[in-house]
A and B are shown apart, each in its own frame.
Chain A
Amino acid sequence: MYTADLTMGAEQFLSFLSPTVVWGFFAGMSILLGIVSIALIYHWVSYSYKRPKVIQAAGMYIVGLLGLLGIAAYFTQELIALLS
């Protein structure tokens, strides 16, 4: 069995991170996801033929995305707490 110790790698990697970098990454990703989400929802509303299906899809999409961003926000806070 191959044994590897990643503890040294983790410490080196974490030394490059700071709360600003972590928050910046979170904000950047959120903005990117937000922009593409607006484009997606715009397409559904403008071009689809049946509204009920669009509303269902948009609802599912927004709930899923917000859920994942919520989890990401939690890990962001935990990471910042670790770095502080």
Chain B
Amino acid sequence: MDTLDTNEKVQYVARKHWIVMVLRMSGLVIIAALPFLAYHVIPYFFAFTITPSWELVLSFVYTFFLALIWMMLFATWTDYYLDMWLITDRRVIDIEQRGLFSRNIAHVRYENIQDVTIEISGILNTLFGYGVVHIQTAGTEKEFTMKHMAAPHEVQSHIMQEVKRVHTKVQQVHIPDR
């Protein structure tokens, strides 16, 4: 992965909670099922004749429709899977995948991190244990935020551990000789 520096080690990979992906995908699944359901439910309310030739044409078109939905399901998974925070031994790398052809990468070094806060609000968030993680920095970009982060307490803990380690190291280097 070319985002990492030489000898940089990834300690933890943080992603959004899977429920976010499932909710997006469920919309697509419903859209995929609608024509099939319509074909079987509508005859109970309207009597119409569908000739075998019409059925063949509809099946032909529906198969391609399903192939497009299949592709969109995996595009949704790609968007979910490639959105992540890499917590390495040197910094936090925020990788944001926007659709298929757009990707935003930002990073913040532990020396610049001032605070990490988490926010869990809402019924689903509380039940499934996901929320918003904010990193406050001293750099140009003042705040990094990831919404719907899975296990936000763990993410906070990992980052703060690395921040503490780096700050301790810096203090040890700066202690003057007596």
Tell which of A14, A29, A48, A64 touches B70, judged by Cβ atoms closer than 8 Å: A64
Q: A36: which B residues are within 8 A, CB to CB?
A: 71, 75, 100
Q: Digitize B33-62: 1 where CB-to-A-CB distance is under 8 Å, 0 elsewhere.
A: 000000000000111111101101101100
Are A1 and B45 CB-contacts (below 8 A) given A43-B78, A64-B70, A79-B56?
yes
**Does A48 lie within 8 Å of B48, measured CB to CB?**
no
> What is the CA–CA distance of A75 and B59 in the complex, to the nearest angstrom?
7
Tell me how far the C-beta of A81 lies from the nearest C-beta in chain B, rounded to whole angstroms: 9
Main secondary structure of the interface of A (DSSP, over half): helix
Question: Is there an interface contact between B74 and A79, defined as CB atoms closer than 8 Å?
Answer: no
Interface positions of B (Cβ within 8 A of A): 1, 10, 13, 45-51, 53-54, 56-57, 59-60, 63-64, 66-68, 70-71, 74-75, 77-78, 81-82, 84, 86, 95, 97, 100-101, 103
Q: A36-B75, A75-B60 are in contact. List 16 more A-B contacts (CB 8 A).
A: A2-B47, A7-B49, A10-B50, A10-B57, A29-B64, A33-B71, A39-B101, A40-B100, A43-B82, A49-B13, A57-B81, A65-B70, A68-B70, A72-B64, A78-B56, A79-B56
